[in-house]
A and B are shown apart, each in its own frame.
Chain A
Amino acid sequence: MDQFILQILNGLDKGSAYALIALGLTLIFGTLGVVNFAHGALFMLGAFVAVTVSNILTLSHKVVDETRTDFLGNPLQVDVPYLYDLFGQAAGDTIIDWAVPISIIIAIPIMVGIGFAMERGLIKYFYKRPHADQILVTFGLAIVIQEIVKYFYGANPIPTPAPEAFVGSFDFGVILGFDPNAIIYPYWRLVYFFFSVVIIGAVFAFLQFTTFGMVVRAGMADRETVGLLGIDIDKRFTIMFGIAAAVAGLAGVMYAPINSPNYHMGMDFLVLSFVVVVVGGMGSLPGAVAAGFLLGILESFASMSAVIDILPGINQIIIYLVAIIILLTRPRGLMGRKGVMEE
């Protein structure tokens, strides 16, 4: 039972990342009709906003320490962050420690800006082109973004820890009456889950309860009619692209402490997120979120050694297996709308 609860927790936090990326993908697909293979790169860029903010906060000047030597035997040059000079060491350390949460605020305008630039600079020229062209151009863009990041940050993962206050694990086992240590879960992963719930809720509320959201939903349902009513739907869709980029970016920022960011982390998530979108139903926002959590939980269960012992290799194929079953039984996915990708 404890293992069962543990894997559900695991699946929820894994599913959070899938759901956030799939939500952005669906927003872009539903509004602009573009299959955006560069969406994983936006997730990765978000993580690298956290890395960059962390690098900026630790910008240092060298102070020679005559008492110590470096690896060549020369006097050691110690890095002293400029923040120490400005705020003192204790306050400086606290600011550096909170680099990831600080990045959240900085990431929003940056990612919206990147989203706008991407849409205005490249994607808009492919609205009327076949999906295959869109996939090729966005996939190419993803590779370009990856290589640029690798050029500046290298190929190795870069550790970007969560604030000290969130280090450690929460013992659910004790609360639920199990043995201590039976169900422990890291604080930051719990934060990630709640953060993603808030973001998903905010996106839905924005679409549901604002005039802007209403117009966008109308545009998703029937773009032409909305245009005939004299509404500049293209402009709103561009803004939606920016919002989708920000959602992916925030998912990336918050993910940075979970796994050290590297340049190909976006690709690792992209394919799975597309499966999530298809399983959820192309163009369905609730479907994307539901499928994200569902597949995250299933993937966690399939990774249990008791399951692998019975079905070796199931952990590597479970998501695709479920996708096949769902598409065979419900060709439009869990909550797919009629007419989407069916012309």
Chain B
Amino acid sequence: MSKSNFSRRGVLKTGMVASAGLALPQYLRADAHAGFTNAPSDSEVVLGFNVPQTGPYADEGADELRAYELAVEHLNGGGDGGMMSTFSSQALDGTGILGREVKYVTGDTQTKSDAARASARSMIEKDGAIMITGGSSSGVAVAVQALCQEAGVIFMAGLTHSNDTTGKDKRANGFRHFFNSYMSGAALAPVLAANYGTDRKAYHLTADYNWGYTTEEAVRSSTEAMGWETVNAVKTPLTQTDFSSYIAPVLNSGADVLVLNHYGGNMVNSLTNAVQFGLREAQANGKNFEIVVPLYSRLMAKGAGANVKGIFGSTNWHWSLQDAGSQAFVRSFGTKYGFPPSQAAHTCYVQTLLYADAVTRAGSFNPCAVVEALEDFEFDGLGNGPTLYRGEDHQCFKDVLVVKGKENPENEFDLLEIVEVTPVAQVTYPADHPQFAGGALGTCNPGA
């Protein structure tokens, strides 16, 4: 009598164990021979563009995606080459990256940290993306940056302005080209003092999340250093749509300046409400009442319409800049899509070129080689003047634009005018500055 070792349950168990083995995250097993995660084949390399395609920042995400597609086209030798011709490093030659054709996959962050991590993980594990880039929120940037560190791929942040991205939450595999809250405060304060005087009383309305806190802290400390006094700072829920109950008490608070530490829909609504309440025409303490929006975005300014007129803020880049790099980018982007790029599109395009250039200079896709090539890399010709990717915190240091809502726009894109290009020296800070305290860069992780 023979006895079979195969039982139904046994087969199922074996099957499940085998399936679990096969389903192991690709980055834990694939390409171990190359010594790093998702080593590309000889013919192509895959980049992962993780942008908000749905949710409140979908328009900004769409502009980021346009910029990425343009960058890929230029890297593969298509179009007019855009900023590749003005970039001080001339390592890129339009033959892809290290001779591999650049392919890309996209993910939808939904501007939610968990969704952004899931889409980044999917692009790394299923699609073999060797670099993840994009995003339009600091919460998302910090979450995806941490994931990329664990997975052993490079993260080139998109639009993220919180100090924490390259402060307490910095990671060795993550790099930020965009400016930050500290830089906004440092650039804005002297312009505000010059225009509104040093004897001012400010009232802050601050979005109740990480970016709001760092922006309030940065603007408060830099304006207080100029002699301003902060009379009140009120946190507003991120989900708030009508700010009237927060704005109504401002005029009678003793303040003569309202600082709106809001972004996106919050900024559009709070600014619209403030203007409705007549704050722009009001007088307080014998002075004209003023409103300040520390972080401007052209797309958001469009949402606020005429309400932005005359209001100061800061921005990372603007399409009206006249340097050769900016003009080349605006020409490429404008010719392809019919309108000028946003600052989000600019930083995403530049980050893609910077990554490709670093790989080319390093001669390797190994994340640790890329990190080494990017650290303390000095470059020019990408729209912000001479720029340093500081090795200590992976933050770009470059000039910052102080802008003002234009009084007489000539067309629908002509919403902001550049008031001052604040030199990089004025916005540079030591890596151990209190606003960036905590956290450690750690060491690069090549994965595999």
- Chain A residues packing against B (C-beta within 8 Å): 2-3, 6-7, 9-11, 13-14, 68, 70-72, 76, 150, 154-159, 161, 168-169, 179, 181-182, 184-186, 188-189, 258-260, 262, 264-265, 268, 299-300, 303-305, 308, 315-316
Give every chain A residue within 8 A of B413 (Cβ-Cβ).
71
Q: How far is the CA of A300 from the CA of B410 in the complex (A)?
A: 39
B272 to chain A: closest CB distance in Å?
6
Alpha-carbon distance between A76 and B414 when the two chains are bound, in angstroms: 12
Contact of A158 among B57, B282, B303, B410 (CB under 8 A): B303
In the assembled complex, the Cα of A14 lies from the Cα of B243 at a distance in Å of: 10
Would A76 and B277 count as touching, CB distance under 8 A? Answer: no
B252 with A157: CB separation less than 8 A: no
Q: Which of chain B's residues have a CB closer than 8 A to the CB of A13?
A: 244
Question: How far does the Cβ of A196 sit from chain B's closest Cβ, in whole Å?
Answer: 14
The residue that A156 contacts in the complex, of B59, B246, B334, with Cβ under 8 A, is B59
Q: How far is the CA of A126 from the CA of B282 in the complex (A)?
A: 54
User: Counting chain A CB atoms within 10 Å of each CB, which of B235, B265, B277, B334 scores highest?
Assistant: B265
Assign chain B's interface to a size class.
35 or more
Q: Which 9 pairs across A and B sit closest by C-beta, in order of nearness? A: A159-B305, A155-B58, A303-B245, A157-B303, A169-B278, A300-B245, A186-B276, A156-B59, A155-B59
Q: Write out the residue numbers on chain B whose beta carbons fall within 8 Å of the beta carbon of A265.
A: 241
Residue of B nearest to A6 (CB): B248
Contact A259 B272 (CB under 8 A): yes
Supply 13 A–B pairs (Cβ within 8 Å), ascending by A.
A10-B244, A10-B248, A71-B413, A71-B414, A155-B55, A156-B303, A159-B302, A159-B305, A159-B306, A189-B276, A259-B241, A260-B303, A304-B245
Distance in angstroms between the alpha carbons of A308 and B232 in the assembled complex: 12
In the complex, the chain B residue whose C-beta lies closest to that of A306 is: B249
With A157-B269, A186-B278 in contact, do A260 and B304 touch (Cβ < 8 Å)?
yes
Contact B277 A184 (CB under 8 A): yes
Q: Cβ of B252 and Cβ of A2 under 8 Å apart?
A: yes
Asked whether any CB of chain A lies closer than 8 Å to the CB of B42, the reply is no
B window 231-255: CB within 8 A of A = 232, 234-235, 237, 239, 241-242, 244-246, 248-249, 251-252
Whether a CB of chain A sits under 8 angstroms from the CB of B340 is: yes
* Measured CA separation A185–B245 after assembly (Å): 11
Q: Is the CB of B334 within 8 A of A14?
A: no
Please name all residues of chain A whose beta carbon is closer than 8 Å to the beta carbon of B331 when the two chains form the complex: 72
Minimal beta-carbon separation of B122 from chain A (angstroms): 22
Complex Cα distance A308/B283, Å? 27
Closest residue to A155 on the B side, CB-wise?
Answer: B58
Nearest chain-B residue to A159 (Cβ)? B305
Chain B nearest CB, measured from A13 CB (Å) = 7
Whether A7 and B306, one on each chain, are in contact in the complex, defined by CB atoms closer than 8 angstroms, is no
Asked if residues B249 and A304 are in contact (CB atoms below 8 Å), the reply is yes
- Complex Cα distance, B304 from A262, in Å, reads 12
> Among the listed B54, B244, B282, which residue makes an inter-chain contact with A181, where contact means beta carbons less than 8 Å apart?
B282
Are A72's CB and B334's CB within 8 A? yes
Question: Does B355 count as interface, using CB distance less than 8 angstroms?
Answer: no
